[in-house]
A = this chain, B = another copy of it.
Amino acid sequence: MSLLVVGSVALDSIFTPFGETADALGGSAVYFSVAASLLHPVRVVGVVGSDYPVEALEALAPRGIDWSGVERATGESFRWKGKYSYDLQSRETLETRLGVFAAFQPKLPAGWRDAKYVFLGNIDPVLQLNVLEQMSGPRLVVCDTMNYWIKGQKPDLLKLLERVDILLVNDSEARELSGDWNIHRAGRWILGRGPKRVVVKQGEYGALLIEPERTFYVPAFPLEEVFDPTGAGDAFAGGFMGYLARVDSTAPAQLRRAMVYGAAMGGFAVQGFGVKGFDTVDYDQVQQRVEAFVDLTHVPAAEPLT
């Protein structure tokens, strides 16, 4: 029942109206793993530079995160600097320094090639495909991407999609990929390209699981305090995949429940800076929040008229 993620391990400097961080742990693989490890052990493939505070990663290992697939390369680590608007609705990238990430060539440790659940974080689709070629028949391949690859490497991305079970993207990415602004038509377009399902994240509005004959909707958790939206999408992916690996199933009912675990993790992510939102979260709290989600959309049965 192994769970594998390939993605970025970065240092984020984030400015929000509520504070700022400098060179904090970040990157898709980090957010994913911190969330997923609340549900199932995770193995991480990535790269860091010689300046990375690897002891901070190791401090997270006892949660069930195996960082031994993270290569230590000579050079600078991937750094991202961003600033959010006053209402956290938009953000501006102030600086992106790829560093050693620019030459990243994911290599799966030998014992990891038979992972059953794989999340391909947002990296070059050629590398995502390369990861799949190193694997021996995973049960579920879920993949993220971004507008940069959609614009610059669409043929590679479309080739990758043929081998992906679920594409997990945000709404603007689904729109750009399909060329259709209607999110449901965009989802259907993507289903025609290979994936059996599409998860469309809509930020503070929740997320959709679009299947050929059916759609599932999970809202975002109602939060009166949001500190930092960074990583919410990757934490969502971590909750989604962590749950599926835990129950070792891809049954339709479990995929719906996985969406709720994803939404729960997305909520925890935004409640603190960087991965700090997870500092005090344990499995019981995850379960409590999942139950709260079920209540949030529960439609009581019709009562007979008296």
What residue of chain B has the Cβ atom nearest to residue A87's Cβ? Answer: B181
Give Cα A159–Cα B181 distance, bound, in whole angstroms.
42
Given A87-B181, A202-B205, A247-B305, A299-B256 contact (CB < 8 Å) = yes
Which of B182, B297, B300 meets A297, CB within 8 Å? B297
Stretch at the interface among A64-72, A100-108, A214-222: A214-222
Give Cα A296–Cα B260 distance, bound, in whole angstroms.
13
Contact assessment for B205 and A253 in the assembled complex, using a CB-CB cutoff below 8 Å: no
What residue of chain B has the Cβ atom nearest to residue A255's Cβ? Answer: B300
Which of B223, B295, B297, B302 meets A218, CB within 8 Å? B297
Instruction: Give residues 275-302 of A contacting B (CB, 8 Å).
Output: 293-300, 302
Inside 8 A of A202's CB, which chain B residues have their CB?
205
| A188 interface residue per 8 A CB criterion | yes
Give Cα A215–Cα B86 distance, bound, in whole angstroms.
25
| A226 interface residue per 8 A CB criterion | yes
Give Cα A225–Cα B296 distance, bound, in whole angstroms.
27
Inside 8 A of A2's CB, which chain B residues have their CB?
none
Contact assessment for B296 and A224 in the assembled complex, using a CB-CB cutoff below 8 Å: no
| A178 interface residue per 8 A CB criterion | no
Give Cα A260–Cα B202 distance, bound, in whole angstroms.
21
What residue of chain B has the Cβ atom nearest to residue A299's Cβ? Answer: B294
Given A219-B206, A247-B305, A305-B247, A224-B185 contact (CB < 8 Å) = yes
Contact assessment for B256 and A300 in the assembled complex, using a CB-CB cutoff below 8 Å: yes
- Beyond the given A184-B224, A214-B295, A216-B296, could you list 8 further A-B residue pairs with CB under 8 A, ordered by the A residue number? A215-B296, A216-B298, A218-B299, A253-B303, A256-B298, A256-B299, A256-B300, A297-B297
- A residues lining the B interface (CB < 8 Å): 86-87, 181-182, 184-185, 188, 202, 205-206, 208, 214-219, 222-226, 247, 253-254, 256-257, 260, 293-300, 302-303, 305
User: Closest 4 A-B residue pairs measured CB to CB?
Assistant: A253-B300, A297-B297, A205-B205, A217-B219
